[in-house]
Amino acid sequence: MTETRTERFQQVALPHLNAAYNLARWLTRSDHDAEDIVQEAYLRAFKFFDGFHGDDARGWLLAIVRNTTYTWMQQNREHLLNTPFEEEFHSLEDNESASAPNQMDSNPESILARHDDRRLLDRALEQLPVEFREVLVLRELEDLSYKEIANIASIPIGTVMSRLARGRKLLGQCLRRIEKESSDGLQRNSGTAAGLRRP
Amino acid sequence: MDCKETLELLPAYADHELGLPEAIEIDKHVQDCPACRDEITGQKALRAALRRHATYFIAPSHLEHRLKAVLALKTERKSSPARRAWHWFGQSNWLNPAAALASVIAVAWSASLYLALPSAGDVLAEEVVAGHVRSLMANHIADVISTDQHTVKPWFNGKLDFSPTVTDFAAQGFPLVGGRLDYLDHRPVAALVYRHAQHPINIYIWPATAGQEAPPRTLTRQGYHLAHWIEGGMVYWAVSDVDPHELQHLVAILQTESRPHSGSPSDPKPAS
C-alpha cells in the first residue's frame, strides 16, 4: 500500500519537476541551491501527500517549493531576501520620468535586438527584488493565472496584479540601466584607449 | 473610466484577466488617451520580452534520479513493517469468514500501530536524547559529582542490579564528571557523565539480553549526535552535542576499556 502511495506521488509530482526547478532556480539564482531545495520540497510534498485532494498538482507543488525556498533562504542566504536594489530603482525612476517610457529605443525588444547578449533579459530579471521576480516567473514562464499565483504566493489577487505591473516597470528600467552601463563602459574604455595613444 | 481607474486595472487588462465590461471601458478610454495607451504598450512589450527571451530552467536529469532514489529510500524504511503485516495477511485462513474478518481487523490495527510508530530503535534514540536534554536542564546532570572513578562506581551499588565499568578518561581528553541514575527502555540505567571541552556527554549503560552484540552505529536526532553499541553483555548509548568525531573517539576508548584482558588492571602482573 505504501508502494502505491509512492507511485501515485511520483505520477502526480514528477511531471512538474521542471516547473519546480525553474521556480527554485529563479528565486535562488543558483543551480546547486535549486537542486537541494527541490529535493527538500519533494520530500515535504511526499510527507503531506495525503492532504492533497485537488486536481491542481502543479500549484500545490509550486506552493511547497516556494515555501521551502523562502525557509531555506532565511536560514542560508538571508542577504538574498533583502535585495538592496529598491532604492537604486527609485532614483532611476525619478531620472527617467522626463523621458517617455515608450520611446522607440527604450522598448525592451529593441534593446534586446541591439545587444548580442542572449542572457541580457535574464540578467535584468535576476536583479529584481525577489517578490517581483517571483510573480513574473509564475506569470510569464509558467503561464499561471492571477488566482493561481495568489494561491501559490499566499497573497491577494490585487497584490499579484500590482506586483506584476511594478515588476515589469522595474524590469524595463533594469534593462535600460544595463544597456546604459554597458555603453558607458564602452565609451570609458575607448576613452582610455585614446588617452593612451596620445603621447 | 478615467486615467486613475484605468492605470489601476491596466495590468489585468494587459494580462487578459479583466472582466469583459471593464475591458470594454478601458478600450474606450485608451482611444482618446495616449498616456494610458503607452502604458499598456509598455506592459505588453515586457510581457512579450519575458516570454520570448527569459530562460526556462530545465531540471537536470540527475535530479529526477536523485529524487526517485530518495523517495524509494523513504518508502522502504516505512513499508517494511507493513510488508510484514501483509505477509501475515496472506497466510490467514480465508475459508473461515469470521477468522478472515478478525484478521482484517487485527492487520489493520497492527499496521496502523506499525505505521504510526517509529521502530523500537527510533523510540529508544528519542528517549536517550530526551534523557540527555533533561539532564542538562535544572543542573541535574549528576547525582554523584566526582572525577574519581572509585567514588562514582561504588555509588551505583545498591541502586542498580548491575555494576557498570567506570573509568576517568581525563588523560584522553574526556574527564569524568560524575554519575546519575536514569530510566530508559523500561528499566533503571547507569548514566556516566563525561565532558569534552565544554560539551557534556552522557553515556547510558545497562545489561543487554543474553547473546546480544552490535557494533557502534551513529545517528543524529534534534542536532544531538548519538552512538549505540552492544558489547560485553552491556548496552551502550552515548549522546552529546560534541563533534561527532570526538564522540566516536570516546566510543573507541570505551570499547577498548570494556573489552576483557585489555584494560590495565587485568594485565598480567609480573610474577613476584
In the prediction, which pLDDT does A27 show? 95
| Higher local confidence (pLDDT), A191 or A72 | A72
- How many cross-chain Cβ pairs, A to B, lie less than 8 Å apart? 125
| Higher local confidence (pLDDT), B94 or B66 | B66
Of residues B111, B121, B125, B120, the one with CA closest to residue B81: B111
Query: Does the beta-carbon distance from B45 to A46 stay under 8 Å?
Result: no
Q: At what angle do helices A31-47 and A2-13 cross, to 10 degrees?
A: 140
pLDDT band at A158 (very low <50, low <70, confident <90, very high): very high
In the prediction, which pLDDT does A168 show? 92
With 0-12 CB in 10 A as exposed, 13-18 as middle and 19+ as buried, what is A26?
Answer: buried
In a shared domain, residues A75 and A89? no
Q: Which residues of B touch A21 (CB under 8 A)?
A: 57-60, 63
Q: What is the mean pLDDT of residues B265-271?
A: 41
**Does A197 fall in a domain?**
no
In the prediction, which pLDDT does A179 show? 80
Q: What is the mean pLDDT of residues B239-264?
A: 79
Other beta carbons within 10 angstroms of residue A75's beta carbon come to 8
Query: Does the beta-carbon distance from B17 to A145 stay under 8 Å?
Result: yes
Q: Specify whether the CB–CB gap between B153 and B166 falls below 8 A.
A: yes
Q: Residue B93 phi/psi, 5° resolution?
A: -80, 105
Q: Which of B49, B55, B60 sits opposite A112 (nearest CB)?
A: B49
In a shared domain, residues A91 and A170? yes
Q: Any idea what the CATH number is for the domain that residue A137 is in?
A: 1.10.10.10
In a shared domain, residues A48 and A75? yes
CB distance from A101 to chain B under 8 Å? yes
Q: Tell me the average pLDDT of chain B.
A: 79
Interface of A with B in 103-162 (CB under 8 A): 107-109, 112, 118-122, 125, 136-137, 139-141, 145-146, 161-162
In angstroms, the CA A163 to CA A42 distance is 28
CB distance from A17 to chain B under 8 Å? yes
**Res B268 pLDDT > 50:** no
Residue B49, helix vs strand vs coil: helix
User: B120-266: which CATH topology?
Assistant: Phosphorylase Kinase; domain 1 (3.30.200)
Of A171-175, A193-197, B115-119, the least confident? A193-197
Domain count, chain A: 2
In the prediction, which pLDDT does A42 show? 95
**Res B30 pLDDT > 80:** yes
* Interacting residues of A127 by C-beta distance below 8 A, sequence separation 6+: A83, A85, A174
Q: Which residues of A touch B72 (CB under 8 A)?
A: 6
Alpha-carbon distances, residue B5 vs B30, B40, B42, B119 (angstroms): 12, 13, 18, 62
| Higher local confidence (pLDDT), B107 or B201 | B201
> For residue range B68-127, what is the model confidence (pLDDT) as tens digits?
888 887 776 655 554 444 444 444 444 455 655 665 666 665 555 444 444 566 788 888
β partners of residue B230 = B214, B235
Pick the residue of A8, A11, A21, A163 with the most B CBs within 10 A to test the interface with B by mutation: A21
Query: Does the beta-carbon distance from A1 to B49 stay under 8 Å?
Result: no
Q: Sheet containing B224-231: which strands, arranged edge to edge? A: B144-145, B176-184, B187-196, B199-207, B234-240, B224-231, B214-221
Q: Which residues of B touch A117 (CB under 8 A)?
A: none
Query: Does the beta-carbon distance from A42 to B71 stay under 8 Å?
Result: yes
In the prediction, which pLDDT does A197 show? 42
pTM assigned to the model = 0.55
Which of A80, A104, A132 is the last residue before a domain boundary?
A: A80
In a shared domain, residues A49 and A14? yes
**Does A65 fall in a domain?**
yes
In angstroms, the CA A66 to CA A137 distance is 12
With CA atoms as reference, the chain A residue closest to B16 would be: A145
**Res B129 pLDDT > 80:** yes
pLDDT band at A3 (very low <50, low <70, confident <90, very high): low
* Interacting residues of A139 by C-beta distance below 8 A, sequence separation 6+: A149, A164, B15
Q: What is the mean pLDDT of residues A154-175?
A: 92
Alpha-carbon distances, residue B210 vs B122, B216, B235 (angstroms): 22, 18, 11
In angstroms, the CA B206 to CA B210 distance is 12
DSSP chain A: -HHHHHHHHHHHHGGGHHHHHHHHHHHH--HHHHHHHHHHHHHHHHHTGGG--SS-HHHHHHHHHHHHHHHHHHHH-HHHHS-THHHHHHHHHHHHTTS-TT-GGGSHHHHHHH---TTHHHHHHHHS-HHHHHHHIIIIIS---HHHHHHHHT--HHHHHHHHHHHHHHHHHHHHHHHHHHHHHHHHHHHHHHHHH--
**Does A192 fall in a domain?**
no
Residue B64 identity (one-letter amino acid): E
In a shared domain, residues A92 and A168? yes
Q: Which of B39, B54, B70 sits opposite A140 (nearest CB)?
A: B54
CB distance from A42 to chain B under 8 Å? yes
CA pseudo-torsion sign A158, A159, A164, A165:
positive
**Does A190 fall in a domain?**
no
What would the grid cell of residue A129 be?
A: 527584488
ipTM passes above 0.85 = no
DSSP A9-22: HHHHHGGGHHHHHH
Interface of A with B in 65-84 (CB under 8 A): none
Query: Does the beta-carbon distance from A141 to B54 stay under 8 Å?
Result: yes
Q: Specify whether the CB–CB gap between B63 and A21 falls below 8 A.
A: yes
Tell me how many degrees the CA angle B20-B23-B27 measures, rounded to the nearest 5: 135
In a shared domain, residues A104 and A171? yes
Domain that holds residue A152: 85-185
pLDDT band at A140 (very low <50, low <70, confident <90, very high): very high
> For residue range B6-18, what is the model confidence (pLDDT) as tens digits?
888 888 999 989 8
In the prediction, which pLDDT does B131 show? 85
**Res A36 pLDDT > 50:** yes
CB distance from A14 to chain B under 8 Å? yes
Q: Which of B54, B57, B71 sits opposite A21 (nearest CB)?
A: B57
Q: Which residues of B touch A20 (CB under 8 A)?
A: 59
Q: Which residues of B touch A102 (CB under 8 A)?
A: 38, 41-42, 45
Min CA distance, A195 vs chain B (Å)? 38
In a shared domain, residues A91 and A157? yes
Q: Residue A4 phi/psi, 5° resolution?
A: -70, -30
Domain range summary for chain B, segments of one domain joined by +: 3-53, 72-116, 120-266
